[in-house]
Structure 1
């Protein structure tokens, strides 16, 4: 089924893996355990009575449609899990404070676990793993574990280089090597998979609970669907947090190795010192992130690349 979807989508394997495949798993759970209790509805009755091949086609079509739909609203889906959307302000604030304390506790545990020559025992290594899933700056702490795990690499480029990777994300991808960009896409697909499966399994669990009101309900199957869906949703959240480790490494590699081609693509030359580079990227952020300002232009002129003829070189041209 996934091979068919892959060919239909023109080889966009990350979309298939991240959104289509988990959608098919959610539909399968719904189809096997919930639909038998909804045969009083014509649409589900016709699916239940159709041949196995027709049911497979329906599953494929429904998976592709649902997967594409969820992929198109990926940002708000992530925002909810990160604690930025649909969270009461007081709840978000209390959860943020909880994670600030958890980060400090992990840091203290790492410090205490350091033995001779700064080596960590197993307990300290696990504490370091937890600590590294938080942003470097406590002011960037988010209300949820997933929010912090993602925020750590969103903030990385600005913390190290004063380069806003979110503002310059498309430019970074356009100038970075294809292998690094592919690593980022592949790593994100792993997180997308668990996020999508969380939502679809959660939806299947809720639908099973509602189906208990149906006159043709099969209580045992519906209770089983509810338990499986809820358990899968909880597990997927935890796995999504862990999967951000690969995503974080890939994004950091993109930033670290993509800064030079990005500067060249923007017609800028890299300064001699890191302090000067941080200042340059800060000026780039001001220039691109706000309305046009002549002062911002003047600040960037000092970093404009100049070719051998003395003219400003905006990059290689064919």
Structure 2
């Protein structure tokens, strides 16, 4: 009975537990700022390393343009980038390809960078719809999932479950390890201390592994959300009584107004949505 109660409580606190790992909750201000600055630097390093590899490949092919040669020289002049690029040259092609995968786990906009790797990995899927179409999925998430095809919605739910699994392991092992430390502080029998200490150390050592697994599992989650946005926009527009415009620029303007209408109190400027409304049936 107690386990069921704890499970229900943790499920209710799911968003809070995620926010702690993402760096949004219970983080001191200075630590938050340091984490954001560090993650921005890591993102910049990954971009520079990938650019150096691309430019060096073009240099070897003899197709390097003058402006690209200047960019390559500038990056080589940076001691940090030059040192990291030197390590990349001795890596295999598969290892170098992993750099692009790591860079893809960051949001496009630097202002959206979070202080943790998991926070950035989740933030990149949250900003996808807004960056491409100005469709803020955080505002119209329920409408979007309600209008999207069932197969796409199940993919999103399944991908989210994988991340939830590793996050639950992380917190569960952390709680058990902490309780083991508490028990050790009250135990005086030598024969009981050793196995309890080993168990607590092993569980604590697994926490970074589960964290890395959760970050990697967000790749499938991000792909599912990308499909949800790309394939669910048209059904969402139709269910709201709108027709997708012919141009991408007009579509971005339409979703901006739709999300603003959902997020803010009504204003007369919302009447601009009338030109996107579908014609009523005869």
Query: The TM-score by the shorter chain falls in which range?
Result: 0.7 to 0.9
Deviations 1:191-228 (A, max 9, x none): 00011111110011111111012246510121012112
Aligned residue runs from structure 1 range 2-81, under 5 A = 61-81=1-21
Asked whether 1:245 is paired with 2:185, we answer no
Poorly superposed stretches of 4+, deviation over 6 Å: none
Q: Which runs of 5+ in 1 are unaligned?
A: 1-60, 310-318
Pairing partner for 2:154 from 182, 185, 204: 182
Would the aligned equivalents of 1:204 and 1:229 in 2 still touch at CA under 8 Å?
Answer: yes
* Rounded Cα–Cα distance in structure 2 between residues aligned with 1:258 and 1:178: 10
Instruction: Give the Å deviation of 1:158.
Output: 0.3
Equivalent in the alignment of 2:278: 305
Number of residue pairs matched?
Answer: 247
Q: Structure 1, residues 224-253: CA drift from partner, whole Å, max 9, x if none?
A: 121122112121111100000000000111
Q: Secondary structure at the match of 2:186?
A: coil
Matches of 1:173 and 1:286 in 2, distance apart?
19
Structure 1 segment 80-159 matched on structure 2, within 5 A: 80-114=20-54, 115=57, 121-159=93-131
The offset of 1:154, in angstroms, is 0.2
Matched-pair contact (CA < 8 Å) for 1:93–1:143: yes
Q: Secondary structure at the match of 2:125?
A: helix
Q: Distance in 2 between matches of 1:224 and 1:161?
A: 52
More helix by share: 2
Corresponding position of 1:165: 137
TM-score where L is the length of structure 1: 0.75
Which runs of 5 or more structure 2 residues have no equivalent in the other structure? Answer: 64-91
TM-score calculated relative to the size of structure 2? 0.84
* CA–CA separation in structure 1 for the residues paired with 2:171 and 2:178: 11
The RMSD of aligned alpha carbons is: 1.7
* 1:212 alignment partner, SS class: helix
